Amino acid sequence: MKIYKDNYGFDIVIDCGTNLTGATNLKIHAKAPSGATKIWAATLNGTTAMQYTVQSGDIDEAGEWILQPAATIGSWNGRGSSVLLVVHDHFE
């Protein structure tokens, strides 16, 4: 699916490659092409992935977004590997 600026209502799912069962504080840190940052509260999807449903105003720039999952698992709190989300401008 091609993602366009200002689209919303779709899910972003990031597979973290590790068991997240029992994890808390699930978040996706998002860095827009301009460098602006956002933090989205995520939910568990299966046992190794986190999911966020994009809301109106979340994806407000075209270009390459960097998404980085974060969670607390037991006494560990940190971030996982970043992924790239390409967002297209209208009419591309």
- Predicted confidence at residue 1, as pLDDT, reads 83
What are the C-alpha distances in Å from 71 to residues 7, 8, 26, 31, 41?
A: 26, 24, 5, 17, 10
Residue 53 in this model has a pLDDT that exceeds 90: yes
Read off the pLDDT of residues 1-36 as tens digits, 9 standing for 90 and up.
Answer: 899 999 999 999 999 999 999 999 999 999 999 999
pTM of the model: 0.94
Q: Where are the domains of the chain?
A: 3-88
Distance CA 78, CA 33 (A): 23
CATH architecture of 3-88: Sandwich (2.60)
Task: Taking residues 76-80, report their average pLDDT.
Answer: 95
Residue 39 in this model has a pLDDT that exceeds 90: yes
50 versus 92: the higher-pLDDT residue is 50
